[in-house]
């Protein structure tokens, strides 16, 4: 039986979150490029600022419907978020 160290497990978890981190970074970049604050985006999308912040940091895995709300709120097509 192979033992997995806590460091290995932590690295695997971080690597597994990479797509979420990339998505969140893309959302933040587009939001800031458009001159929107976190509060602006959350209000337009009908989401809490805390949730949007967690999505931007890659801590939450948003549903497709949430991605549609975010994309609509920042004025882009949903597919541009997930390229």
Return the pLDDT at 9: 45
Write out pLDDT tens, residues 33-58. Answer: 999 999 999 999 999 999 999 999 99
Task: Indicate the pTM of the whole model.
Answer: 0.81
Kindly report the CATH number that applies to the domain delimited by 18-80. 1.10.260.40
Q: pLDDT band for position 17 (50/70/90)?
A: confident
pLDDT(4) > 80: no
> Rounded distance, CA 40 to CA 19, Å?
24
Q: Dihedral through CA 82, CA 61, CA 73, CA 27, nearest 10?
A: -60
């Amino acid at each position: 039986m192979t033992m997995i160290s806590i460091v290995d497990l932590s690295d695997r978890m971080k690597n597994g979150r990479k797509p979420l981190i990339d998505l969140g970074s893309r959302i933040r970049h587009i939001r800031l490029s458009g001159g929107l604050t976190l509060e602006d985006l959350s209000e337009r999308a009908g989401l809490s600022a805390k949730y949007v912040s967690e999505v931007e940091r890659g801590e939450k895995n948003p549903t497709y419907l949430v991605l549609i709300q975010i994309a609509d709120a920042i004025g882009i097509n949903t597919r541009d978020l997930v390229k």
